[in-house]
Amino acid sequence: MKRAIYILLLILIFSGCEKKEEIVKSSGQFKQLTLAEFNNILKSHSGKVVLVNFFATWCPPCRIEIPELITISKEYKDKNFIIIGISVDENGEEAVAPFSKQMGFNYPVFLTTSELNTTFNIDAVPQLFLYDKNGKLIINLKGYVESKELKAMIDKLL
């Protein structure tokens, strides 16, 4: 039964609309992000520094880091910079929807897939990936990173 539900969910995900970057759909559902969609998002932000944050709602360091990322997103909103959040929560939307409301994300938040977890070797959260304006991965940071340190890295790339 679980397998049938999983297959049905995959079909629904792959037959979804073409919009690649969406924080919350009008129905309140968070989108699972495939590797191809991630790559398209990265390409669509060519010329911008991109910070990707893998997080979990239950992770204490993530709960400290996310408000700092929200502040960074506000501070850099008029610069060539974007943050993308990707939740690794097993409960998906059930966990992320109330957490998102509580945190007040001001950047796109998606749900991970096993494909993304494998590709990015997600074995701990938070985990940050910083890309330069050409879409080249500059650094992979595991664990909490202070906003001062993170802003210094972003400033070098801007």
Round the CA-based radius of gyration of the chain to a whole number and report it: 15
Tokens of 120: 């990015």
Annotated catalytic residue within 56, 62, 103, 150: 62
Annotated catalytic residue within 50, 52, 59, 84: 59
Q: Give catalytic status of residue 62 as yes or no.
A: yes
Q: Give catalytic status of residue 17 as yes or no.
A: no
Tokens of 143: 């664990």
Q: Known catalytic residues? A: 59, 62
